């Protein structure tokens, strides 16, 4: 069985997300999950999907055509959108979530 460090190094080398800033952001978020001692359920799901991505490179594209979209959707659900997609509406919604307990925002 591979160690977490070996899995992380393999992910960073072979994931294929090196070209755009968003891809690197996704890649680095998953790489950080490999460092966790006890990931929660959603983090375990992301790690499983990351390992599956590496396995799918050996298969034809039609084997699991929606995998990358599903993996990115799980990442956005866990960490929020990548920095390039964070506009003022996203910032406002985060502000409201943080301070929704205060009366003046209701």
Identify the pLDDT of residue 32. 94
Q: How far apart are CA 26 and CA 42, in angstroms?
A: 15
Q: Is the pLDDT of residue 105 over 80?
A: no
Q: How far apart are CA 2 and CA 6, in angstroms?
A: 6
Within 2-87, residue ranges assigned H as helices are: 4-14, 21-33, 41-56, 67-79
When the pLDDT of each residue in the chain is averaged and rounded to a whole number, the result is: 85
Q: Which helix (H) or strand (E) holds 98?
A: helix 88-98
Instruction: Give the start-to-end residue ranges of the domains of the chain.
Output: 4-105
Confidence at 103, pLDDT banded by 50, 70, 90: low
Supply 36's token pair.
């966790």
Identify the pLDDT of residue 104. 54
Q: Is the pLDDT of residue 106 over 70?
A: no
Q: What value, to the nearest 5°, has the Cα angle with vertex 22 and ends 14 and 100?
A: 130
CB of 8 closer than 8 Å to CB of 35: yes
How many Cα atoms within 13 Å fall on the side-chain side of residue 66? 3
Q: How many CB atoms lie within 10 A of CB 47?
A: 19
């Amino acid at each position: 069985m591979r160690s977490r460090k070996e899995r992380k190094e393999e992910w960073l080398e072979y994931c294929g997300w090196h070209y755009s800033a968003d891809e690197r952001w996704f890649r680095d978020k998953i790489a950080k999950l490999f460092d966790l001692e006890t990931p929660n359920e959603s983090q375990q799901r992301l790690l499983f999907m990351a390992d599956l991505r590496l396995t799918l490179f050996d298969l034809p594209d039609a084997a699991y055509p929606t995998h990358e979209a599903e993996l990115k959707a799980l990442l956005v659900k866990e960490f929020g959108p990548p920095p390039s997609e964070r506009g003022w509406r996203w910032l406002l919604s985060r502000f409201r979530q943080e301070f929704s307990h205060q009366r003046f925002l209701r």
